[in-house]
Amino acid sequence: MNSSCTLDSPQTKSEYLNDVISKTMAKNPNEPEFLQAVKEVLSSLEPVVLKHETEYKDLALLERVVEPERIITFRVPWIDDNGKARVNRGFRVQFNGTLGPYKGGLRFHPTVNQSIMKFLGFEQIFKNALTCLPIGGGKGGSDFDPKGKSDNEIMRFCQSFMTELQKHIGQDVDVPAGDIGVGAREIGFLFGQYRRIKNNYEAGVLTGKGLDYGGSLARKEATGYGLIYFMREMLAANGLNLSGNTVIISGSGNVAIYAAEKALSYGAKVVAMSDSNGCIYDKDGIKLDIIKELKEVKRARIKEYLNHCPNAEYKENNGEIPAVYTIKADIVLPCATQNDITLAGAKALVENGAKAVGEGANMPCTNEAIEYFLKNNVLVAPGKAANAGGVATSALEMCQNSMRYFWSFDEVDKKLDGIMTNIFAETKKAAEVYGLGNNYVAGANIAAFRKIAKAMKSQGLI
């Protein structure tokens, strides 16, 4: 789902903010996802900007925050299994390096374009700041579609992609990782080609590596587990908990699977998961082992779950609301892709009694959907904060690579839990300080922005 919400004129009380939003909209007219992300973040910064308006204006701080430091696009030629030459487009957006080397995943999906790369890179700046680890914001990828490709085709594509990308990355420069369509297999091929070209074992140049060559234990689980740690904190702060609640999850990839695993461990009942075609509904609770086998081993469609659990139901997507969001649940975890929950989806979920939404994916709710949830007292854990466990553990992977040492699964998992607990505390504090109640969407944006603004100010006009 890549259709964005409507982008009306900004209406904050800060003239400076309105001006920056308007100019960004005029400058990037063909980038709806990027504009959606900018508008969502900047509008929520109103109380902070009103306090520091002259200072930020003099430093052109917001104008610089919305402008990537660098965008690299490149051609990726490769040969398919029939010997036919193919060409894709590669991207790396090095958005903001104030807090550390650019850090953010690579997405391989046919919908990838500059708008999507920029929205993801922009979000990443704030997410990475929230982790309190020394990492800047970046993102990259390609419009290459890995679905249906052989391992050899994936390898040839990754080798060609890295042949160009290696000119622009390095363990102290820019450190990519996985995202949609890029998992351990792809990271392995990318790392191999980097090492071959550089003739240098620079383990920290990529994260999400295999455990046998510099990967971190718990990295695979980190985004999903981290989401649930954040949800645990958010629910507890509002007198709720996971135990005994029903959960629906969109997606059945890396984030979705490990969010489901951790939610189950806290006593929640996961009744639905999905892929881009439709969802399965198992009122007795999803058997996660079957999903793992289908998705992590066989790379099959989720519909095949019915071959193993004939009592479950399969609902095909048709219409504006993806089938998974038509199922009744207390807790909703969108873990697939952007703009998955539109206003119509939000209304259906509220009608069905949803109490909390946890964004495992990046920007899975449109701005209108978020507003609707908040107005209807549905708690929202914003992706920037709630899915930061992946990048945080990637930073822990870099740390282990630098030490030439590794931590046990439990050590990494404990650090991850601590980081997510702290992110929630910072988010909550910022929301309270600025009188925003339990609007954690604004709280996370403000907490992150204040860190970035301070560091950008210290580093001068660059």
- Name the strand (E) or helix (H) holding 142: strand 136-142
- Binding flag, residue 254, ligand NDP (CB under 6 A): yes
Select the span of 71-79, 233-241, 272-280, 369-377 touching ligand NDP (CB under 6 A). Answer: 272-280
- Binding flag, residue 278, ligand NDP (CB under 6 A): no
Apex CA 410: angle with CA 401 and CA 192, to 5°? 30
Residue 299 CB partners (closer than 8 Å, separation 6+): none
**Which residue has 């807090």 as its token pair?**
99
- Binding flag, residue 335, ligand NDP (CB under 6 A): yes
For the chain, the maximum distance between any two Cα atoms, rounded to a whole number of angstroms, is 64
Select the span of 238-246, 263-271, 334-342, 444-452 touching ligand NDP (CB under 6 A). Answer: 334-342
Decide if 109 contacts 143 (C-beta within 8 A).
yes
> Judged by CB under 6 A, how many residues of this single chain contact ligand NDP?
23
The distance of Cα 81 from the centroid of its chain, to the nearest Å, equals 32
The distance of Cα 386 from the centroid of its chain, to the nearest Å, equals 9
- Binding flag, residue 1, ligand NDP (CB under 6 A): yes
- Binding flag, residue 176, ligand NDP (CB under 6 A): no
- Binding flag, residue 178, ligand NDP (CB under 6 A): yes
- Binding flag, residue 42, ligand NDP (CB under 6 A): no
- Binding flag, residue 121, ligand NDP (CB under 6 A): no
- Binding flag, residue 221, ligand NDP (CB under 6 A): no
Q: How far is the CB of 295 from ligand NDP (least distance, A)?
A: 7
Q: Which of residues 377-396 bind ligand NDP (CB under 6 A)?
A: 387, 390
Give me 217's structure tokens: 């234990």
Select the span of 13-21, 32-40, 62-70, 356-364 touching ligand NDP (CB under 6 A). Answer: 356-364
- Positive or negative torsion for Cα 359, 264, 133, 402: negative
| Residue 1 or 423 with smaller CB distance to ligand NDP | 1
To the query of whether residue 139 is one of the catalytic residues in this protein, the response is: yes
- Binding flag, residue 361, ligand NDP (CB under 6 A): yes
Q: How far is the CB of 253 from ligand NDP (least distance, A)?
A: 2
Select the span of 167-175, 248-256, 307-315, 432-440 touching ligand NDP (CB under 6 A). Answer: 248-256
Q: Which residue is nearest to ligand NDP (CB)?
A: 253
Q: Which of residues 405-434 bind ligand NDP (CB under 6 A)?
A: none
- Binding flag, residue 138, ligand NDP (CB under 6 A): no
Instruction: Name beta bridge partners: 20.
Output: none
Burial class (CB in 10 A: 0-12, 13-18, 19+), 440: buried
Q: List, edge to edge, every strand of the sheet that includes 174-177.
A: 70-79, 85-96, 136-142, 102-108, 174-177
Select the span of 8-16, 35-43, 65-73, 330-338 touching ligand NDP (CB under 6 A). Answer: 330-338
Select the span of 65-73, 174-182, 369-377, 409-417 touching ligand NDP (CB under 6 A). Answer: 174-182
Which amino acid does the sequence have at 399? C
- Binding flag, residue 400, ligand NDP (CB under 6 A): no
Which residue pairs, CB below 8 angstroms and at least 24 apart, start in 67-72?
68/93, 68/94, 68/95, 68/96, 68/118, 68/121, 69/94, 69/95, 69/96, 69/97, 70/94, 71/114, 71/117, 71/118, 72/168
Among 101, 104, 138, 181, binds ligand NDP (CB under 6 A): 181
| Residue 252 or 342 with smaller CB distance to ligand NDP | 252
- Binding flag, residue 4, ligand NDP (CB under 6 A): no
The one catalytic residue in 139, 262, 315, 384 is: 139
3-state SS class at 180: coil
- Binding flag, residue 90, ligand NDP (CB under 6 A): no
Q: Which of 139, 106, 115 is nearest to 125 (CA)?
A: 139
Residues forming contacts to ligand NDP in the complex (CB under 6 A) are 1, 178-181, 223, 251-256, 275-277, 335-337, 360-362, 387, 390
Q: Which residues are designated catalytic?
A: 139
